[in-house]
Amino acid sequence: MVTRDRGKENRRMEERLNSLEVALTNEMREREFYESQSRRTKNPLGKTMFARLAEEEQEHYERLQELSVRWKREERWPETVPLTVKNTNISDILKDFLKKAREIAPADKDDLGAIRTALDFEARGAAFYERLSSEVSDTKEREFFRLLAAIEQEHYASLKDTEEFLTNPAGWYQQREHTGLDGA
């Protein structure tokens, strides 16, 4: 019975390590995509946003890589992996940009396509980390994956906000300032 339980636990650990490898691959792919979009776009807002997303995805990759190495070495969730990553400031990029900009360069179809691809990445990433958090029993492990899911959700919300701004700036301003024809 002990052998069977040990084998089952080893399979579960192997599945979780495989999930971690998928996460590493996804984070690296997303970082590369964001870097290429930051270089490609002529839009200063897009350039800044994609560069910051690339930095954050690199940090996620490094955290996950550290976790993977230690997990394989210790054959369990490491006790001392930090449950923190730098706070995301993606939502501040649009706000800061609008304070400084006199005129917004229009987004082209490639910019909007890149934002929509990024939205898909972030939605899938959030769902993936949420699924991982629901499949584990270790509290620290669950909290770590919930943290990553929350960051991906914030990235998604910020990208959605940017997409709305780039496709309909007047509507975006009106919605944020809550103004209408009735003067309210």
Summarize pLDDT for 132-184 with one digit per residue, the tens: 999 888 888 888 889 889 989 999 998 998 888 888 878 877 887 765 555 54
Say if 183 falls within a structural domain.
no
Closest alpha carbon to 163 in 40, 10, 63, 43: 43
For residue 119, the model assigns a pLDDT of 96
Contact criterion met (CB below 8 Å) for 147 and 87? no
Ranking 58-67, 77-86, 115-124, 145-154 by mean pLDDT, the lowest is 77-86
DSSP label at residue 104: P
Two tokens at 45?
């807002």
At residue 97, does pLDDT exceed 70?
A: no
Residue-wise pLDDT for 9-68, tens only, equals: 777 778 888 888 999 999 999 999 999 999 999 888 888 889 999 999 999 899 889 888
Closest alpha carbon to 149 in 55, 26, 4, 2: 26
- Higher-pLDDT residue of 56, 75: 56
Say if 182 falls within a structural domain.
no
Q: Averaged over 99-110, what is the pLDDT?
A: 66
Say if 184 falls within a structural domain.
no
Two tokens at 15?
């599945």
Residue 45: how many CB atoms within 10 A of its CB?
Answer: 21
Classify 103 in phi/psi space as left (phi over 0), alpha (psi -120 to 50) or beta: beta
Domain that holds residue 119: 2-177
At residue 109, does pLDDT exceed 90?
A: no
CATH of the domain at 25: 1.20.1260.10
- Give this prediction's pTM: 0.80
Contact criterion met (CB below 8 Å) for 50 and 41? yes
Q: How confident is the model at residue 7 (pLDDT cuts 50, 70, 90)?
A: confident
| Tally of domains in the chain | 1
